Amino acid sequence: MKNKVVIITGASSGIGLACAREFARMGANVVVAARSIEKLETLAKDINCNQNKCLPVKTDVTLEQDCLNLIEKTIEKFGGIDILINNAGISMRALFDNVDLIVLKKIMDVNFWGTVYCTKFALPYIQKSKGTIVGVSSIAGFHGLPGRTAYSASKFAMQGFLESVRIENLKKGVQVLILSAGFTSSNIRKSALDAHGNPQGETPIREDKLTPPEKVAKVLIRSIRKNKRNKIMTVEGQLMVFFQRIIPVLVDRTIYNKFAREPNSPIK
What is the Cα–Cα distance from 88 to 99, expressed in whole angstroms? 22
Concatenated DSSP letters for 129-151? Answer: HT-EEEEEE-GGGTS--TT-HHH
Q: Name which of 194, 189, 192 is nearest 205 in CA terms.
A: 189
Q: How many angstroms separate the most distant Cα atoms in the chain?
A: 55
Active site residues: 151
Nearby residues of 9 by Cβ (< 8 Å), 6 or more positions away: 16, 33, 34, 59, 61, 70, 85, 86, 87, 88, 114, 118
What does the DSSP 8-state code read for residue 11?
T
What is the Cα–Cα distance from 36 to 88, expressed in whole angstroms? 12
What is the Cα–Cα distance from 175 to 162, expressed in whole angstroms? 10
End-to-end CA distance of the chain: 48
What is the Cα–Cα distance from 87 to 103, expressed in whole angstroms? 19
Strands 230-232 and 175-180, sheet pairing: parallel
